[in-house]
Amino acid sequence: MPANCLSNCPRGCSAAVSASGKWTYVIGDLDPDRHAGDVIDFARQHRAHAEGVPEWRDRPEHVRKHTIARVPPVKPAAPAPSAPSQEQS
């Protein structure tokens, strides 16, 4: 999903790679002309890994050197306990 801003101005163009139930990565210092392929390759690796954590040494070099954040998956909130039923006598 496109985002207008990742609040990462000092690190230039940035991208986030995320998926439901997987770790999210924010990658910075991107030059779209030079690093688009790296982001696409990493997104494919991320998708292929069950937890979204591809082996560090297998990631594209720019991703290895310019990952700004790795955010754990957000667990869904537990459902609120239901109120006890009020049976009428």
Each domain of the chain, given as residue ranges in start order, spans: 9-71
3 state SS of 8: coil
> Residue 76 has which token pair?
């869904």
Given this model, what pLDDT does residue 74 score? 85
Residue 50: exposed, middle, or buried by beta-carbon count in 10 A (0-12, 13-18, 19+)? exposed
> Residue 15 has which token pair?
């991208």
Strands of the sheet with 67-71, listed across from one edge? 13-17, 24-30, 67-71
Digitized pLDDT (tens) for each residue of the chain, 89 residues in all: 666 777 777 778 999 999 999 999 999 999 999 999 999 999 999 999 999 999 999 999 999 999 999 999 987 767 777 766 666 55
Given this model, what pLDDT does residue 12 score? 84
Given this model, what pLDDT does residue 87 score? 60
